Structure 1
Amino acid sequence: MRLDADWMVRADDRILEFLRDDGPHPPSKMEDDERIKFGAEYLGRRCRDYLEPHGLLKNLGNGVYAITEDGAAYLDGELDVSELEPRD
């Protein structure tokens, strides 16, 4: 069972699952995937403003994101994201 946080939305799980399965990509490529029903601008905002600051994603540069060990642990039900504080 995944232990999410109050700030998380359905798109966050889809982003993390996509990046775990398909490797690093920018939001514009995530948008093209049939599993993700959200636009690139919204996906980028979720990555930049929520998932990366909480350590679930890493920005590799040029808007390309990769899932972190914490992100994978969350997907596997091994990490309670509500206990994470945003990083500066």
Structure 2
Amino acid sequence: MTRADDAILEFLQNEGNEPLNATPAVIQANISYQISHVRSRLRKLDKAGLVEYYNEDRGIYQISENGKKYLHGTIDSEELEIEDSS
């Protein structure tokens, strides 16, 4: 897991409010990473089951139940199969 992964998941979780559904561009506009890196990390997070498509045709992602568990510490990053490099 990378800092970008955590930033993406935390943005989508929207702690204290309803979780967000967002495109890579919306996520990028709200965190400090370039769009190409956000897209790359979203693909890896999707493969690891931490995010999922809310609407695949429109490229809108949402945090998955496993993504929520990861942020709450009930899933350890070492249990996940995710690459650190983009």
Classify the TM-score, shorter chain.
Answer: 0.7 to 0.9
Q: Deviations over 1:9-46 (max 9, x none)?
A: 1000000000010511011001111xx11011210110
Between the aligned partners of 2:81 and 2:6, the Cα distance in structure 1 is 18
5+ residue gaps, structure 1, are 1-7
Runs of 4 or more, structure 1, over 6 Å off, are none
TM-score (norm 1): 0.78
RMSD (Å) for aligned C-alpha atoms: 1.4
Higher relative contact order (CA 8 A, sep 6+): 1
Between the aligned partners of 1:64 and 1:82, the Cα distance in structure 2 is 27
Between the aligned partners of 1:84 and 1:39, the Cα distance in structure 2 is 24
Q: How big is the shift at 1:85?
A: 4.0
**Which amino acid in the other structure matches residue 40 of structure 1?**
I
TM-score (norm 2): 0.80
Q: Deviations over 1:28-86 (max 9, x none)?
A: 001111xx1101121011001x1000100002312211100110011011111321347
Between the aligned partners of 2:77 and 2:34, the Cα distance in structure 1 is 24
**Which amino acid in the other structure matches residue 51 of structure 2?**
L
The equivalent residue for 2:5 is: 12
5+ residue gaps, structure 2, are none
Of 49, 71, 79, which residue of structure 2 is paired with 1:83? 79
Q: Does 1:57 align with 2:51?
A: yes
Between the aligned partners of 1:63 and 1:80, the Cα distance in structure 2 is 27
Between the aligned partners of 1:73 and 1:66, the Cα distance in structure 2 is 14
The equivalent residue for 1:42 is: 37
